[in-house]
Amino acid sequence: MEGDRRSRILGGMSGDARSVTIALVSTLVFFTALGFVVTNAPGWPEVKSAFFDPTVFRDSFPEVLRAFWRNIKIFCIAEVLILVFALLIAVLRSLPGPVFFPLRALTIVYTDVLRGIPTVLMIFILGFGAPALAISWLPRDPIFWAVVALVLVYSAYVAEVYRAGIESVHPSQDAAARSLGLTRGQSLRHVVVPQAVRRVVPPLLNDFIGLQKDTALVALIGPIETFRQAQIDTAATFNFTPYTAAAVVFVLFTIPLARLTDWLNERSRRRRAAAGIAA
């Protein structure tokens, strides 16, 4: 089990010196060959100046980075709301008994429909449609409606992740809690949900990396965020390098999140192993 973590990167090898060498050489050859093929292609100079122009990059990067602040704000607000709203949906869906059937049915319809609707449409419908209703007390701000759209769509996905977590908690846990005199609600609150949430943290973070990129869809209804700023700069210069700048910004933000996900994954795996629970 010792070499387990390393072996995943090295492709199922036992980790002796020979396989490490082969892995290194193979990697080196692969990237050298790829680099050779790309940079020797007849159109490479043109592609290089269209996507990797240093002057355009320098001009565009600060603007793109400034616009990224808007993505971060949308992301943070939406994320908190999604965590709460999705948990509510998941809990409603896991309520037992015929009495709660209408609620369960409602949550099933919700997750089915909202996962099917393209996020783009939700943003247009709410961003342009809701303010056009001309209801005086309804906000008109496009960012407000974009956040609502993202929360509605992502909650459907995240609710399913929560549900998987809740269902993965063995029924004996609930039974034990109930036998100790906890009500159904208390059992859910203190026994089932805490275990469920801990188990689904890695897939949750995965969804949030997706959400972080989808904040760019907000641009469809007006606000200038990273992607849109890159588009504006691209149209001004007829050069696609600003998109490369936007990609760098997004990746710089995503990598720590991805590392955190892996680390949490690893930690929960070790804990489960230590506690002797089959993973």
Partner 1 sequence: MRRVQIPLTLLVLLLALVASACGSTNEASDTQTTAAPGTQSTAADPCAKDQLELVNDGTLTIGTDNPAYPPWFGGTPQGQWKISDPESGKGFESAVAYAVAEQLGFAKDEVEWTVVPFNNSFKPGPKDFDFDINQISFTPKRAQVVDFSDSYYDVNQSVVALNSSKIAGATSLADLKDAKLGAPVGTTSYDYITQNIQPSEEPQVYDTLDAGVAALKAKQIDGLVVDLPTAFFITAAQIEDSKIVGQFPTIGTQEHFGMVLQKDSPLTDCVNQALAALKADGTLDQIQQTWLSDKASAPVLQ
Min separation Cβ 141 and partner 1, Å? 8
Count of residues of this chain found to bind partner 1 when the rule CB under 8 A is applied: 46
Stretch that binds partner 1, among 138-146, 179-187, 189-197, 208-216 (CB under 8 A): 138-146
**Long-range contact set of residues 181-190: C-beta below 8 Å, sequence gap at least 24:** 184/96, 188/91, 188/94
Exposed e or buried b per residue across 54-78, where buried means at least 16 C-beta atoms within 10 angstroms of its C-beta: eebbebbbebbbebbebbeebbeeb
Neighbours of 85 (CB within 10 A): 17
Min separation Cβ 126 and partner 1, Å? 11
By CB under 8 A, name the one of 88, 164, 224, 247 that touches partner 1. 224
The residues, any chain, with a CB within 8 Å of residue 39's CB and separated by 6 or more, are none
The DSSP output letter for 188 is I
7 binds partner 1 (CB under 8 A): no
Euclidean distance between CA atoms 154 and 69, whole angstroms: 21
Pattern 98-137, partner 1, x by CB under 8 A: ------------------------------xx-xx-x---
Stretch that binds partner 1, among 31-39, 75-83, 198-206, 263-271 (CB under 8 A): 31-39
Min separation Cβ 251 and partner 1, Å? 22
Euclidean distance between CA atoms 103 and 21, whole angstroms: 59
In whole angstroms, what separates CA 187 from the centre of its chain? 30
Window 8 to 27, contacts with partner 1 (CB under 8 A): 11-13, 19, 22-23, 25-26
Euclidean distance between CA atoms 68 and 204, whole angstroms: 22
- If phi > 0 it is left, if psi is from -120 to 50 it is alpha, else beta; for residue 11 that is left
Min separation Cβ 254 and partner 1, Å? 24
41 binds partner 1 (CB under 8 A): yes
Interface ranges with partner 1 (CB under 8 A):
11-13, 19, 22-23, 25-26, 29-30, 33, 36-37, 40-43, 46-47, 49-51, 128-129, 131-132, 134, 140-142, 219-224, 228, 231-232, 234-240
